[in-house]
Structure 1
Amino acid sequence: MNSLKIRFEKMGIHIPEILLPADAEMNKWAVVACDQYSSEKNYWKETEEIVGNSPSTLNLILPECYLEDDDKKDRVQKINSTMKSYMKENVFRKLDRGFIIVDRSTPYVESRQGMILAVDLEKYSFSKDTKSLIRPTEGTVLERLPPRIEIRKNAPLDIPHILLLINDREKSIIENAFIDSDSFETVYDFDLMQGGGHVKGKLISDESYLEKICTAFEKLFENNDMLFAVGDGNHSLATAKEIWEKLKSEGAPEDHPARFALVEVENIFNEGIIFEPIHRVLFDIDRQDFFEKLKTVYECEIRTVSSEAVMKDKVSENTREHRIGYVSDDEVGYISIKEPAIKLTYEVIQKFIDDYREDNTQVNIDYIHGEKALYDLSRRKGNLGLYLNAIKKSEFFDMIVAGGALPRKTFSIGEAEEKRYYIESRSLIS
């Protein structure tokens, strides 16, 4: 196993000892990623009602809808104490060292396949122009790291919703492992709460099969300057990186558990991977002022249409213009921006939003996954929703390699209920 470990290490891969709950109701244990439903506290209240007093990852995370609440510090302390009590009370069982292959169905896809493993944070950087083996796909907002750092810096557990992508056209790694899935031990198989679909995980711990996976990764590694692209959870991975760098500067050993982060790896060419746009909702905004200021920065036109369906069609038309749909309490339409030097629509509109909010500090923003949530929020008086198209996943890796990280919140893999649910964890205690 030691020679295999060294081979994996060259590619930034670590074979983890994964923790799963020993005797918990899995549909109450697993909850969706903390950055979902960030403007919909009702979702998280319903989740609390479902969980009740049962052991759950809900007690180990801080949903982002509570980040601005006065009791945030108390919540963080409670999270860390709950982690410790779960470990002390033997809530977890440790699996044999290995990877878990995951098959996830959602309301939108029958199957999305992935592989749970750990990555070496020495092979990752979140700087925009990094040439590291593991690269961010969106800009990292440093202001978003402190609350995550507060939770992780004293946390005895690594509980991920991080999703990394590989560029495996031949489907030689993850999909290939599923061909032999009947020979692997099933470690969980259950329905996810709140419309999340179903998930099934199987453990691969046999050394000969892990070597087979290693060989396939090595072939992919030979042909790619970037092996992993962060598909989701970039700020969580950046948090883990910051904490590892601090521990390292304080003299932590090279094999300290905090050097590694548990992730799910998925192949961008898997049929279950569907790139969804991330829309914007602006709160407490004067729509006409926003449009007038936009016209002073870009050559653009604002056009009203009869419905959201027509707006979507107009935004999706093949044109050299940048098109962004908009929805408000009494109007639907789209914005056409004439060929600015910036090539990516997301970057065009995000740059303007950032500049506009500097002069209009009362305007808040949220990044929305899913059309229904966008329309519901946008129809409230004083709000303005901005609808964007998804980027093409076939161009994704080339875009990152050529231009570095994309603007923040440029893409999303699936709708909100399709995001990773917290299931697996690993110990951070050395």
Structure 2
Amino acid sequence: MAPAITLAAEAPTLSAANTGFMLICSALVMLMTPGLAFFYGGMVRVKSTLNMLMMSFISLGIVTILWVLYGFSMAFGTDSGGVVGWNSDWVGLSDIGLTELWDGYTIPVFVFLVFQLMFAVLTPALISGALADRVKFTAWALFIALWATVVYFPVAHWVWGSGGWAFELGVIDFAGGTAVHINAGAAALGVILVIGKRIGFKKDPMRPHSLPLVMLGAALLWFGWFGFNAGSWLGNDDGVGALMFVNTQVAAAAAVLGWLAYEKIRHGAFTTLGAASGAVAGLVAITPAGGAVTPLGAIAVGAVSGVLCAMAVGLKYRFGYDDSLDVVGVHLVGGIIGSLLVGFFASGKGQSDVEGLFYGGGLDQFWKQCAGVFGVLAYSLVVSAILALLLDKTIGMRVSDDDEVAGIDQAEHAETAYDFSGAGGGAARSTAPATADRAESKKVDA
């Protein structure tokens, strides 16, 4: 009898369909950073609008250059001790072939690296929402460069890089619950504990100046998140990317309903800010879990995150830390919830055969998720606080009290978001009609 012949597995070949899909997903993730800028920009007072926009946009400039120079190499290069990667051929990206494929996939290395670049850009921008109104723009730019280098690039390697300790442990993080959201949320907490509260915190009204901008930003984030999540499977030959797409929509919807229900019970109203924040909370929570859970599991993840994140945003008033735009309450808490719930709702039918507690798998995956969650949280919190302290003691992190009160836009950017004195009518032109309307209203009431 002739010996059996074992055929070698066919080497992957470039897929035009997957390549095009991933380029579109990369563009969608890029759109999330301007979307975040609008989301945060609408939530601050008028005098801080431009600064909030710029704190996101500057990340597109700084992190892109660092990623080309050494960031991609640190995050996805050859592993060193499970902590960081390095590949000297990737420094400057000059020795990568145009059709060279990424590590067993059907897309070029350049496509993978630009997709991951957009994650690296977004993550430090998320931190900015906690620091509204009070941080020097130069200090913020330096913080981004340092934080990306010593926190984001290594943590991305832990979670997604071959040989990274969390990757090898088996921590499930489909698209960034630990590497992006817990990482950014913990960093935000570390920085605000160093730089302190805004002037007037818990005393002066600090309401959003433009809820339409907030809703626009939330819509852009929701739209971009389909690329963020579905694209993280790097193709859709087996349907997992499609599952993630569906779960992204389902979890966001459930979180909106959960947040609004809590808000109505707790505060007596359904607010647009609550709807926008609930959507983001659900999107954050499903990010690590969506490839492992069913759509019913996504409903649970979204609903739980909507309610718990709504509860968490109030903790800043109880404990006295000034998380200006609820980065800790939404991104840190939402990331923790989504990452840990994998240990309960993983169905074994998605990205892997891992089953959570509710599917008969016990608590083994839950403990792995805990290791990933709290490892990233502790590292990012401590290192971010140290970086903020170093910058504060050298160049100073905060603007002066006078500049903060007068408005950081004018002090740091020599501009204002809105020109109320231009053509189209000013206060004098609008006073008479408004007064007449109020007088007419009194007549009607009488």
User: Per chain length, whose mean CA-contact separation is higher, i.e. which structure has more relative contact order (CA < 8 Å, sep 6+)?
Assistant: 1
Higher strand share: 1
TM norm. shorter chain > 0.5 = no
Give the alignment's TM-score, normalised by structure 1. 0.25
Higher Rg of the two aligned structures: 2
